[in-house]
């Protein structure tokens, strides 16, 4: 996923269908400098992690 699209999703109040390793996730924050995103699985909000943007897929 590109940086601009990830930022749009993170800033939008509308939930987008994004997955990380096949798991539906929520994007909390995008780090442009490192090209990463702070995410958590929808069913595990306590399980936050930092992942490369290129591992996220929008459906």
Using one digit for the tens of pLDDT, what is the confidence trace for 4-48? 999 999 999 999 999 999 999 999 999 999 999 999 999 999 999
CATH (one of 1.20.1510, 2.30.30, 3.30.70, 3.30.1560) for 3-58:
2.30.30
pTM of the full predicted structure?
A: 0.91
Centroid of chain to Cα 40: 8
Q: Do 38 and 27 touch, CB atoms closer than 8 A?
A: yes
Instruction: Write out pLDDT tens, residues 18-27.
Output: 999 999 999 9
Decide: 5 and 37 in contact? Cβ < 8 Å: no
- As a whole number of angstroms, the distance between CA 46 and CA 7 comes to 21
């Amino acid at each position: 996923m590109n940086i601009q699209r990830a930022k749009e999703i993170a800033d939008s109040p509308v939930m987008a269908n994004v997955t990380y390793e096949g798991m539906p996730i929520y994007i909390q924050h995008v780090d442009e400098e490192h090209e990463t995103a702070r995410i958590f699985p929808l069913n595990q909000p306590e399980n936050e992690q930092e992942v490369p943007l290129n591992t996220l897929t929008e459906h």
